[in-house]
Amino acid sequence: MLNPSALRVPSGQLIMVMAKYTNDSHITKAEDVRDFFSHLVNDLGINFHSDDDFKNYVSYTTGERTMDDEQAELYNRLMDESFDVCGDDVYEIGCDLLLERLKTE
């Protein structure tokens, strides 16, 4: 079951979204990595880098954090698991998705 979660979108507006990932979620295969990264880019609109701590993501319009500590810790764990599964290939996967997104804007 999906849980609601608060998220700040680029406009700075705080919205409720249905969280795709919960504390029970895990990244166990390459397809999971791509799905997680797609969620970050396409569902949440986050321009992310695989090495960055999700606690440091802020809205460029308000300067406020986009995730609370609990959500950031979950996403940091999922990123760690992504590295465990794919190693340095996570950079290529993330870059490909970000480039795809830029082409549609």
pLDDT digits (tens, 9 = 90+) for 33-63: 999 999 998 888 888 999 999 999 887 778 8
72: Cβ contacts below 8 Å, ≥ 6 apart: 53, 54, 55, 57, 65
Instruction: Give the global pTM.
Output: 0.80
Segment 6-20, tens digit of pLDDT: 455 555 554 445 468
Q: 67 falls in which pLDDT band (50, 70, 90)?
A: confident
Cα angle at 90 between 96 and 41, to 5 degrees? 50
Phi, psi for residue 57 in degrees, rounded to 5: -80, 130
CA quadruple 70, 54, 12, 45: dihedral sign: negative
Q: How many domains does the chain have?
A: 1
| Structural domain that includes position 21 | 3-104
CB 77 within 8 A of CB 32: no
93: nearest Cα among 38, 42, 20, 43? 38
